[in-house]
C-alpha cells in the first residue's frame, strides 16, 4: 500500500483514498468518474454551507428521535459548524456535473462530516465502525431530499446579493439620468430618427427596467422555500421516524434564518423542478434587459467620430493591437456575453427539468450548476457595468444638439401649430438639402428660424 493513501471499501470493493483526505471512497471514485467541467463543489461555497446546514438540521432531529447518541450527534454537529464557518471546503472535490442525481455530492458531504466527526471523537479517518457516513451522517435522509433542499437554500442565499446589485446598477443609471436631464437629443425607433427626448429620460428608463425586476426576484425566490426534506428517496418518507420532515424543516429554518415550508406533497416535490425553471426564467428576463441596454450604450457611444457619439464610455483599456488610440466598449460587450450565457443556461435548466422521469429528476446537477452560475455571473456583470461603465459615462452635449438640429425630428414639435402636412414638407426639405429643420421652415416661408426654435424649446418633452 502506498503510504500516501488509505484503503476504504464500498459495495464495489476496495479503493485507495488520499491519506489526509476527509472525504472517502465514494468521493474518490466520483472524482475519477466525473472529470467533466473542472468545477468542483467548493467553487460554490454557498452550496457547501447549505449542505452542512441540512446535515446539521437532520442530526439535531435524529438526536431528538434517539437515532444518534449524544456523542455522535455532537460530533456531527461540530463538524457541520466547522464547514458552515468556512473550514474544510477544499474537501468538497466532486465535479458539479455528475451522474447519479447528486448522490456523489451527498456522499462527499457525508464522508467529510463523518471523518471530521471521527477525529473529534478521537478516532482515525475511515474508522467508520464508530460513526458511519451512511448510517449516521445520512440517517433518515436520501440524496433525493438533501440535494434539492441544499440547492434551494444555496440559491436563496445569493438572492439578496443579486437584488442589491440590481439596485446599485439602477441607482447608477438614476444618477446619470439626473445629470443628463436637460440635454436634448434625437429619440429613435427602428434606428430611424423619431421624436426628441432628453438623454436623462433615456437613462431614467434604463433604471426603471432594471429595478422593476428586483421585486420579481424577491417574489419568485419564495417558491424555493418549499422543500422536500424528510421525503427521502421518492417522497414516501421511508426510513424516517414519525414527524421527521416537520422537525427537520423547523431546525433548518432556524439555521438559515427564515421560514422554510415542508412541501404539501413530498412525492410531487421530489421530482418537480418547477421552482428552478421559474427562477431561471427570471434570470433570463434580467439578462435580456441588460443585453438590450448594453446594445444601446454601444450604439450611443459608437464612433466616436463616425458614429452616434452622443455619449462617451469611460476608457478602461486600450482597444486594439493595431489601431492606435482605439478604445472599445469592453464592459457592455462582456455583459452582452454574460447575458447570452445566462439565456443558454435557462434553456439547459428547462430541458433538464423536462427530462425528469417518474419519481425523480436525475438531471438536478446540471440544473443546480446552471442556476448558481447564472446568479454569480449576473452579480459580477452588473457590478462591472455599474462601477466600470455607467458611473463614468459622460454626455457629448454638442453632438446631441448637432444631431438634433439637423434631424427631421424637430418637425414633429411643429405639428400642433402648423399641421402634419406642412411639418412633413419641412422635414422632407431638411432631409433633401441636409439643412436644419429651422432653416427649411424659413425657406418654405412657413415659420421663421427663431419661431421654430422657440416652439421646440417650449414644447412638452417626455
Angle between helix axes 103-121 and 45-64 (nearest 10 degrees) is 60
What distance in Å separates the CA atoms of residue 50 and residue 56, rounded to the nearest whole number?
10
Q: How far is CA 223 from the centre of its chain?
A: 16
Other C-beta atoms within 10 Å of 190: how many? 5
Query: In Å, what is the CA distance from 228 to each residue of 63, 65, 77, 231?
Result: 20, 19, 21, 6
Q: Which residues contact 459 (CB under 8 A, 6 or more apart)?
A: 413
CA gap 333, 320 in Å, rounded: 15
Report d(CA 134, CA 138) in Å as an integer. Answer: 5
State how beta strands 226-227 and 261-262 pair. parallel
Spatial CA neighbour of 177 closest among 219, 210, 213: 210
Q: Which residues are catalytic?
A: 320
Give the torsion sign (CA, 292, 297, 298, 303): positive
Neighbours of 57 (CB within 10 A): 25
Amino acid at each position: 500500500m502506498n503510504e500516501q493513501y488509505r484503503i476504504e471499501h464500498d459495495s464495489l470493493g476496495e479503493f485507495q483514498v488520499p491519506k489526509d483526505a476527509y472525504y472517502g471512497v465514494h468521493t474518490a471514485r466520483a472524482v475519477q468518474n466525473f472529470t467533466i467541467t473542472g468545477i468542483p463543489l467548493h467553487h460554490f461555497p454557498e452550496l457547501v454551507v447549505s449542505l452542512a446546514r441540512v446535515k446539521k438540521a437532520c442530526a439535531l432531529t435524529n438526536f431528538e428521535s434517539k437515532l444518534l447518541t449524544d456523542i455522535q450527534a455532537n460530533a456531527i454537529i461540530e463538524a457541520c459548524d466547522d464547514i458552515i464557518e468556512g473550514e474544510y471546503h477544499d474537501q468538497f472535490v466532486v465535479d458539479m456535473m455528475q451522474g447519479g442525481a447528486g448522490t456523489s455530492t451527498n456522499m462527499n458531504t457525508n464522508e467529510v462530516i463523518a471523518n471530521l466527526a471521527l477525529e473529534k471523537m478521537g478516532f482515525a479517518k475511515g474508522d467508520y465502525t464508530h460513526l458511519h457516513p451512511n448510517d449516521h451522517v445520512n440517517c433518515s435522509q436520501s440524496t433525493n431530499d438533501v440535494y434539492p433542499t441544499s440547492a434551494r437554500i444555496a440559491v436563496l442565499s445569493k438572492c439578496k446579493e443579486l437584488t442589491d446589485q440590481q439596485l446599485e446598477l439602477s441607482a447608477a443609471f438614476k444618477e446619470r439620468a439626473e445629470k443628463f436631464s436637460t440635454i436634448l437629443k434625437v429619440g429613435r425607433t427602428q434606428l430611424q430618427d423619431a421624436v426628441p427626448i432628453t438623454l436623462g429620460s433615456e437613462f431614467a428608463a434604463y433604471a426603471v427596467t432594471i429595478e422593476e425586476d428586483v421585486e420579481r426576484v424577491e417574489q419568485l425566490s419564495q417558491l424555493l422555500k418549499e422543500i422536500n426534506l424528510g421525503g427521502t428517496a421518492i417522497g414516501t418518507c421511508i426510513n424516517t421516524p414519525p414527524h421527521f420532515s416537520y422537525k427537520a424543516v423547523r431546525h433548518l429554518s432556524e439555521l438559515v434564518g427564515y421560514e422554510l415550508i415542508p412541501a404539501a406533497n413530498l412525492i410531487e416535490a421530489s421530482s418537480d423542478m418547477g421552482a428552478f425553471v421559474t427562477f431561471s426564467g427570471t434570470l433570463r428576463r434580467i439578462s435580456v434587459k441588460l443585453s438590450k441596454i448594453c446594445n444601446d450604450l454601444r450604439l450611443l457611444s459608437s464612433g466616436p467620430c463616425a458614429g452616434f457619439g452622443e455619449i462617451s464610455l469611460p476608457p478602461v483599456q486600450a482597444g486594439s493591437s493595431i489601431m492606435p488610440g482605439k478604445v472599445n466598449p469592453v464592459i457592455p460587450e462582456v455583459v452582452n456575453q454574460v447575458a447570452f450565457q445566462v439565456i443558454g443556461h435557462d434553456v439547459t435548466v428547462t430541458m433538464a427539468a423536462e427530462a425528469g422521469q417518474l419519481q425523480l429528476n436525475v438531471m438536478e446537477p446540471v440544473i443546480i450548476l446552471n442556476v448558481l452560475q447564472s446568479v454569480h455571473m449576473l452579480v459580477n456583470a452588473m457590478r462591472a457595468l455599474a462601477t466600470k461603465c455607467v458611473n463614468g459615462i459622460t454626455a457629448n452635449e454638442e453632438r446631441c444638439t448637432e444631431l438634433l438640429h439637423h434631424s427631421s425630428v424637430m418637425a414633429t414639435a411643429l405639428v400642433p401649430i402648423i399641421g402634419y402636412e406642412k411639418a412633413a414638407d419641412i422635414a422632407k426639405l431638411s432631409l433633401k438639402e441636409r439643412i436644419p429643420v429651422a432653416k427649411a421652415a424659413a425657406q418654405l416661408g412657413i415659420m421663421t428660424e427663431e419661431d421654430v426654435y422657440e416652439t421646440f424649446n417650449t414644447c412638452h418633452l417626455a
